[in-house]
Amino acid sequence: MKIGFIGLGIMGRPMAKNLIKAGYELVVVDRNTNVVDEFIKLGAQKATFPKDVAAKSDIIITMLPNSPQVKEVVLQKNGLIEGVKAGTIFIDMSSISPIASKEVAEKLAEKGVEMVDAPVSGGEPKAVDGSLSIMVGGKEEIFNKVKELLLVMGSSAVLCGDVGAGNVTKLANQVIVALNIAAMSEAFVLGTKAGVSPELIFNAIRGGLAGSTVLEAKAPMVMDRNFKPGFKIDLHIKDLANAMETGAEVGAPMLLTSQVLEMLRNLHQNGEGQSDHSALVKFYEKLGNTEVTK
């Protein structure tokens, strides 16, 4: 089985490497020629255009920034749709709009291609160690065909419904994560202003109902002033904007999401777009004229 992989960025690069380690033969393309050369040294085959990847692959995986990039790679000139064969399975692991996922799936279906959307959660560390959480939308029989492949890159892969359901689930995940970080930031600034150590607050509450994976991952980063991106603010802006678009489409109220999105956009305007999303605390710190540290 030959796997096409397009998008060898922060997430895609370690995911593709895990596939190679598991013995899969890869055909790759990426705008970053240096990373493509790295994969050639690992045994992957280089392609010039996405259509060439499609012509040589049984399963194609994309890991791209957003809906426009996925549409470009799949549907535009030299895109996958120009080289794809009937019976190929397309797995889009990008975090994009569910509306875009359905549009791409409909176009590919005309070529006899089945699609699943399979966005991930866990950031770069879990991409590296192959323990991502993968949320899948598509037909059950297609999911069953690719589940073993997905579990090379993740520790769990859950079918959430038809095409688009994976990205709806990912948007729900991103809403919960963003709101958790905002709540943590607000609470730690409160503690700091009131003269109570954020580190002591963290240790006191982490085992109770307020404890969470988000708290465990992001509180130490904030207190250490370590905002090296595991997941960038600009990417979270993209996800929450997609959540707002989807909410408007289906009539779901997105009150808290809209507020946190504006906070993140404010941070982007102040040069924090490439910082980890835990830097959301800086929005509160600026308003409170304080800094959360140990």
Active-site residue list = 170
Q: In this model, does residue 1 exceed pLDDT 90?
A: no
Q: According to CATH, where is 1.10.1040.10 located in the chain?
A: 168-288
Q: In this model, does residue 212 exceed pLDDT 90?
A: yes
Distance between CA 108 and CA 114 in Å, rounded? 7
Q: Which helix (H) or strand (E) holds 86?
A: none
Using alpha carbons, select from 74, 55, 72 the residue that is nearest to residue 2: 55
Using alpha carbons, select from 153, 152, 176 the residue that is nearest to residue 239: 176
In this prediction, residues 166-183 reach a mean pLDDT of 97
Task: State residue 230's pLDDT score.
Answer: 83
Q: How many helices (H) and strands (E) does the chain have?
A: 13, 9
C-alpha 20 chain-centroid distance? 21
Enter the tokens of residue 246: 């989807």
Q: Confidence class of residue 235 from pLDDT cuts 50, 70 and 90?
A: very high
Task: State residue 123's pLDDT score.
Answer: 85
Q: According to CATH, where is 3.40.50.720 located in the chain?
A: 2-163
Q: Is 184 helix (H, G, I), strand (E, B) or coil?
A: helix
Do 88 and 60 touch, CB atoms closer than 8 A? yes
Enter the tokens of residue 197: 């150590």
Task: State residue 125's pLDDT score.
Answer: 87
Q: In this model, does residue 210 exceed pLDDT 90?
A: yes
Residue 265: exposure state from Cβ atoms within 10 A (0-12, 13-18, ≥19): middle
> In the CATH hierarchy, which top-level class contains the domain 2-163?
alpha beta
Packing angle of the helix pair 198-205, 213-223 (nearest 10 deg): 160
Query: In 34-54, which positions are buried (b, 16+ CB within 10 angstroms) versus exposed (e)?
Result: ebbebbeeeebbbbebbbbbb
Q: Confidence class of residue 124 from pLDDT cuts 50, 70 and 90?
A: confident
Report the percent of the chain where pLDDT is more than 90: 97
Distance between CA 237 and CA 158 in Å, rounded? 25
Q: pLDDT tens digit string along 263-276?
A: 999 999 999 999 99
Distance between CA 294 and CA 292 in Å, rounded? 7
Using alpha carbons, select from 119, 236, 122 the residue that is nearest to residue 167: 119
Q: Which residues contact 209 (CB under 8 A, 6 or more apart)?
A: none
Task: State residue 68's pLDDT score.
Answer: 96
Q: Which helix (H) or strand (E) holds 3?
A: strand 2-6
In this prediction, residues 104-108 reach a mean pLDDT of 98
Residue 112 CA neighbour count, 13 Å, CB half? 8
Q: Confidence class of residue 134 from pLDDT cuts 50, 70 and 90?
A: very high
> In the CATH hierarchy, which top-level class contains the domain 168-288?
mainly alpha
Do 1 and 24 touch, CB atoms closer than 8 A? yes
Taking all residues of the chain, what is their mean pLDDT, rounded to a whole number? 97
In this prediction, residues 163-187 reach a mean pLDDT of 97
Longest dimension (CA), the chain: 65
Among the residues of 224-294, which ranges form H helices? 233-250, 255-269, 281-288
Using alpha carbons, select from 27, 64, 68, 69 the residue that is nearest to residue 49: 27
Q: pLDDT tens digit string along 56-104?
A: 999 999 999 999 999 999 999 999 999 999 999 999 999 999 999 999 9
Which residue's entry shows tokens 């943590």? 184
